[in-house]
């Protein structure tokens, strides 16, 4: 991906994260990308594509942030993942998941729904693989989703609750294999 495409995608992500999906007009989006209107439309020809590109960019940043190599070497990788999700929430999205917000803004949009599903499935699969809990992707997904939804109200309390649930799930898995 070119530097200019990254600049456009990053600007679109910031604009939608700041203003939501309904509010920003094309001039706001153009300013956020730092390019001319002609260049913006050359690289991203429609508003729908702008949203998808912004979310794809967000997905790559989120995965890189949450699933660092350091997480894989931690004694409790799933708890470390919960800490990384909390850091993401604190720094990037204090009021909820941008993917859910996109789908809420256009509930009939199948491309957005597919992107949301792919993002959540990838997160759960990677967390399950890293933590040695393959087969528990749904449970991990529910814990992470609960953390993300609770974060705006409970902050660190939501993180501690998520870690407690991860610990219980880990103990249950260990006792099932013994």
Distance CA 21, CA 104 (A): 9
Q: What's the distance, CA 112 to chain centroid?
A: 13
Distance CA 115, CA 102 (A): 10
Q: What's the distance, CA 142 to chain centroid?
A: 14
Read off the pLDDT band of 178 (50, 70, 90): low
109 CB-contact burial (10 Å; exposed 0-12 / middle 13-18 / buried 19+): middle
Distance CA 58, CA 54 (A): 6
Instruction: Tell me the domains of the chain and their CATH numbers.
Output: 3-177 (1.10.357.10)
> Across the chain, how many H-helices and E-strands are there?
10, 0
Q: Provide the pLDDT for residue 172.
A: 79
Local structure of 155: helix, strand or coil = coil
Q: pLDDT per residue over 114-157, tens digit each? A: 999 999 999 999 999 999 999 999 999 999 999 998 988 898 99
Provide the Cα torsion 51, 52, 53, 57; round to 10°. Answer: 100
Task: Please tell me the pTM assigned to this model.
Answer: 0.90
């Amino acid at each position: 991906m070119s530097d200019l495409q990254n600049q456009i995608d990053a600007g679109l992500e910031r604009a939608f994260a700041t203003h939501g999906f309904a509010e920003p007009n094309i001039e706001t989006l153009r300013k956020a990308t730092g390019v001319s209107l002609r260049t913006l439309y050359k690289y991203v020809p429609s508003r729908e594509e702008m949203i998808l590109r912004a979310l794809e960019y967000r997905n790559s940043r989120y995965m890189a942030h949450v699933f660092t190599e350091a997480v894989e070497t931690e004694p409790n990788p799933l708890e470390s993942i919960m800490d990384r999700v909390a850091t993401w929430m604190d720094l990037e999205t204090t009021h909820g998941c941008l993917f859910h917000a996109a789908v809420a803004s256009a509930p009939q949009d199948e491309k957005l729904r597919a992107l949301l599903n792919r993002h959540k499935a990838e997160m759960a699969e990677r967390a399950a693989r890293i933590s040695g809990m393959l087969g528990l992707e749904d449970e991990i997904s529910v814990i992470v989703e609960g953390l993300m939804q609770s974060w705006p109200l409970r902050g660190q309390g939501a993180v501690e609750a998520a870690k407690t649930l991860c610990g219980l799930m880990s103990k249950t898995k260990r006792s099932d294999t013994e």
